[in-house]
Amino acid sequence: MRPLVHPSIDDVTVEGILHALSDPVRVAIFADIVGSDCSQNCSNFLNVSDKAIPKSTLSQHFKALREAGLIRGERRGVEMQNTSRCAEIEKRFPGLIAAIVNAHKIQLVGKPRAGNGRKPAGRSARTK
pLDDT, tens digit only, all 128 positions of the chain: 677 889 999 999 999 999 999 999 999 999 999 988 788 888 888 888 788 989 889 999 999 999 999 999 998 888 889 999 999 999 999 999 999 999 999 998 887 655 444 444 444 444 44
Query: What is each CA distance from 105 to 2, 98, 121, 124, in whole angstroms?
Result: 35, 11, 25, 33
**Structural domain spans, the chain:** 10-108
Residue 1, pLDDT score:
64
The CATH number of the domain covering residues in 10-108: 1.10.10.10
